[in-house]
Amino acid sequence: MQPGFLFRALPLSAAVLALCLRYGPRDGAITFGDLIGKLDDLRVSCDKCGRSGRYQVQRLIRDRGRDGKIVDWLDQITADCPKKATVSWNDRCAARCPDLAKVL
């Protein structure tokens, strides 16, 4: 396989390519390192169950590392949510980090 073959074969946007080159492969996930200098606190909220919280980004990086994936962390902190395992897809846990859209 020739160098650069993968990039010619797949239609990647310039932004995705820049993220891959800057941060390396990570399955397209947003990591805690992506938040450095952009957020001091990461808010989590769920419209379905009413839970909400605020987490210090520096503490998350210290505990989980710069390469820790936010989606994995979110799954762990919502594991005990009663809405996580409901039968109806419309009523499932909808925990999100609303500030991410503003900074990424």
Q: What is the pLDDT of residues 7-56, one digit of tens each?
A: 444 444 555 555 555 555 557 789 999 999 999 999 999 888 888 999 99
Per DSSP bridges, beta strands 52-56 and 41-45 are antiparallel
pTM for this predicted structure: 0.69
- In angstroms, the CA 19 to CA 16 distance is 5
Residue 74, pLDDT > 50, answer: yes
Q: Report the C-alpha dihedral over residues 13, 34, 65, 59, rounded to 10 degrees.
A: -160
Extents of the domains making up the chain: 30-103
Residues sharing a CB contact under 8 Å with residue 69, sequence separation 6 or more, in sequence order: 26, 27, 29, 30, 31
Average pLDDT, the chain: 80
